[in-house]
Amino acid sequence: MIYTIDESMKEKFPTKPTEDTIEAELDYTQKLLEVIEKEPILTDFPKVKEPLKLLKETVEDDLLELQQSEDPDARVGHKSADSSFFGYKTHLAMIQERIITAATIITGEKTLSTLIEKSKEEGIDIKEVR
């Protein structure tokens, strides 16, 4: 939406981080917010104003959770575009009868192959994945 209002904003935005850490993402997002907030034409536009408010709240929540956490492995994850959490994700594999055949707890990386491997190690014959 911002680019439809002012395409020159592309040149003003900070460079996206190459480091895949929550700290780098938060730093980038804070810089992005600073640039956007300096442009009254953007912050007064309703389709920018509300998402901007939500983004600011999310950053504040994430920073607070990072400061309070003693766990260096926990990460901020997203349940949806508007909902985040701090901690870990649990993934389960189960057979059609709803019996759990494998479980893994992660900080965010892909896990389907891990669940399939664990299920096969337990002797489960996997015919399909849904």
User: What DSSP letter does each residue of 10-72 carry, written as one string?
Assistant: HHHSPPPPSS-SHHHHHHHHHHHHHHHHT-HHHHTSHHHHHHHHHHHHHHHHHHHHHHH---T
Whether 48 is in a domain gets the answer yes
Whether 61 is in a domain gets the answer yes
Could you tell me if 13 and 75 lie in one domain? yes
Whether 65 is in a domain gets the answer yes
What does each of the 130 residues of the chain score in pLDDT, given as a tens digit?
Answer: 888 888 888 889 999 888 877 778 888 999 999 999 988 888 888 888 888 888 888 888 877 776 666 777 777 676 666 666 677 788 788 888 888 888 888 765 556 777 788 888 888 888 877 7
Neighbour tally for 115: CB within 10 Å: 19
Predicted model pTM: 0.49
Q: Which domain holds residue 69?
A: 2-79
Could you tell me if 12 and 52 lie in one domain? yes
Could you tell me if 48 and 109 lie in one domain? no
Whole-number Å distance between alpha carbons of 83 and 48: 18
- Per the structure, the count of domains in the chain is 2
